[in-house]
Amino acid sequence: MSQHEHVRVAVIGSGFGGLGAAVRLRREGITDFVVLERADSVGGTWRDNSYPGCACDVPSHLYSFSFAPNPDWPRTFSGQRHIRAYLEHVTDTFRLRPHLRLGHEVLMARWDNDELRWEIETSRGTLTADVVVSATGPLSDPKIPDIPGLAAFEEAGGKVFHSARWDHDYDLTGKRVAMVGTGASAIQIVPAIQPEAGKVTLFQRTAPWVMPRMDRAISGAERWLHRRLPLTATARRGLLWGIRELQVSAFTKRPAQLGLVESLAKANMAKAIKDPALRAKLTPSYRIGCKRILLSSDYYPALARPNVDVVASGLAQVRGSTAVAADGTEAEVDAIIFGTGFHVTDMPIAERVVGADGITLAEAWKDGMESLRGATAAGFPNWMTIIGPNTGLGNSSMILMIESQLNYLADYLRQLDTLGERVALSPRPSAVGAWNRRVQARMERTVWKAGGCDSWYLDANGRNTTLWPGTTSEFRRATRSVDLSEYEVVRARSPRKEAVR
Ligand SMILES: Cc1cc2nc3c(=O)[nH]c(=O)nc-3n(C[C@H](O)[C@H](O)[C@H](O)COP(=O)(O)OP(=O)(O)OC[C@H]3O[C@@H](n4cnc5c(N)ncnc54)[C@H](O)[C@@H]3O)c2cc1C
């Protein structure tokens, strides 16, 4: 990157969000853009999460771009390797490589009120951009809790890593492993490592609800059909989408209806867990759906194996090589694996963005993340977040939400063009406030708020700033186009200083 390079759009991140934005920009005829990615390859989530057993929990035919169908998904729920390969394929098919700036971590981005553009400092130089699309991912910066004694455990030769930073050089054969956490990653990891580990102790702060995962190989005949008659793949996707749309009202309006699903989940557990004491430990005490419903057909059978212990309490400290739970239970361990999630409501990029008023996005969001239609934030002109506040889903594919946001991005850029040279859009605080009041009012009835659990969907103030309380079609409609009355049009006062290309 040459010093002071200027681009129309800088995209940050190369997961589904960043690559999707890049494809959309090209389709809109915009080629003056770069994709800044801190890692040395594309893929985001699906590059970083390579733990044993890693796979999507939304069927592949829905968990993929509508504009890049893949007739050859090998399984109904494909594994990490195949999803990563799909994203590499998308990068090649849509000729995105020339736009990629791999190994470019965004360290700071500052809005220039005179020039009406973003000055972006990366680990490999500075550039400016009229518009920034921030697709750094809600689940991309791993969180490891501050556990007393952990550093000393590591210094003494103990092994510690996070599920999203798996150490493939560390051989787990015969090892005594502590698995901390019972989220979507942990329930895939435990059955995958149980056969080779000497002992697995699972530290469970809260029991998850787990439903069977209807995973199977997609037959050669089905793939042939999808290749020869692409409409069949579209129909399959439509069906998967429609079923999930119909489920939404139970999550958002009528949590009591989920009682039936609880019975199915309990029956799923009872089939594998015969010991009543273990069953009691594994039975959640909150309404199903309040935390993400997990899908696995091998989690409970793995927990019933003799080399697995479930401790119904979180890891509180490590003393020497002893992992100690909050309830005092102890386990001797060689390795501690954290499946403890990510910085979601405190996303690190927010610390690195300074807006029109000279404050960071993190400061602007100190009482909770807020944006207009999940994308733009007051005081941060021409900055758009992909998978911003309240765009997450509890039961369907995030790619649907990303594609809605790409519609909004495309219209945003079109409107900017129509308004002329050197113009920026800044969402009106009143519009942001009104949008968030509507979202939060709807949130009150949802199972995520009323279901009696504490989850990563909630921020430090107990507000759900992560999930969308409606159907994906409602979000699609809300983001079809940019309503200019929700924005202040900012115009430059002086002619632009020449940028060096
Ligand atoms: C294990 C796992 C399984 C999942 N399964 C599903 C599923 O089945 N269905 C579903 O809908 N969702 C699933 N998700 C959620 C998933 O994160 C989203 O579906 C989607 O992949 C997010 O894409 P993204 O591009 O927004 O973010 P990411 O894929 O996280 O990509 C963000 C990118 O930004 C880069 N980046 C971050 N900060 C910077 C910086 N400062 N400078 C430069 N680059 C930066 C990162 O390196 C990364 O490449 C899963 C998540 C995980 C962790």
The rounded distance, in Å, linking the Cα atoms of 431 and 439 is: 12
If one counts every other C-beta atom within 10 angstroms of the C-beta of residue 275, the result is 11
What one-character DSSP code corresponds to residue 60? T
Kindly give the distance from the C-alpha atom of residue 398 to the centroid of ligand 1, in angstroms, as a whole number: 10
Q: Which amino acid is at 255?
A: P
Is residue 166 scored above 90 in pLDDT? yes
Question: Which mutation among 45, 47, 81, 213 tests ligand 1's pocket best, with the greatest number of atoms within 8 A of CB?
Answer: 45
Mean pLDDT of the chain: 96
**Is 186 domain-assigned?**
no
If one counts every other C-beta atom within 10 angstroms of the C-beta of residue 66, the result is 12
Side-chain half-sphere of 93: how many Cα atoms within 13 Å?
A: 15
Q: Domain range for residue 461?
A: 5-141+343-491
* The token pair that represents 91 in the structure block: 């990068």
Kindly give the distance from the C-alpha atom of residue 392 to the centroid of ligand 1, in angstroms, as a whole number: 12
In sequence order, the β-bridge partners of residue 195 are none
pLDDT digits (tens, 9 = 90+) for 216-266: 999 999 999 999 999 999 999 999 999 999 999 999 999 999 999 999 999
**Is 218 domain-assigned?**
no
**Is 56 domain-assigned?**
yes
Smallest CA separation from ligand 1 atom 48, residue = 44
Kindly give the distance from the C-alpha atom of residue 143 to the centroid of ligand 1, in angstroms, as a whole number: 14
The rounded distance, in Å, linking the Cα atoms of 240 and 255 is: 22
Smallest CA separation from ligand 1 atom 19, residue = 398
Do the beta carbons of residue 385 and residue 134 sit within 8 Å? yes
**Is 63 domain-assigned?**
yes
SS3 107: strand
Structural domain total, the chain: 1
Run of H or E residues at 118: strand 117-122
pLDDT digits (tens, 9 = 90+) for 412-446: 999 999 999 899 999 999 999 999 999 999 999 99
**Is 484 domain-assigned?**
yes
pLDDT digits (tens, 9 = 90+) for 99-140: 999 999 999 999 999 999 999 999 999 999 999 999 999 999
**Is 160 domain-assigned?**
no
Token pair 């079923």 is found at: 243
The rounded distance, in Å, linking the Cα atoms of 57 and 122 is: 34
Say which residue, 321 or 454, is predicted with more confidence: 321
Please identify, by atom number, the ligand 1 atom nearest to the C-alpha of residue 387: 26
Please give all residues whose beta carbon lies within 6 A of any atom in ligand 1, as ranges: 12-18, 36-39, 44-45, 49, 54, 56-58, 63, 105-106, 135-137, 139-140, 185, 349, 386-387, 397-398
Question: Which mutation among 136, 143, 166 tests ligand 1's pocket best, with the greatest number of atoms within 8 A of CB?
Answer: 136
Cα 32 to Cα 18, 40, 443, distances in angstroms: 15, 22, 39
CATH number at residue 445: 3.50.50.60
The rounded distance, in Å, linking the Cα atoms of 396 and 250 is: 14
**Is 481 domain-assigned?**
yes
The rounded distance, in Å, linking the Cα atoms of 426 and 430 is: 12
**Is 105 domain-assigned?**
yes
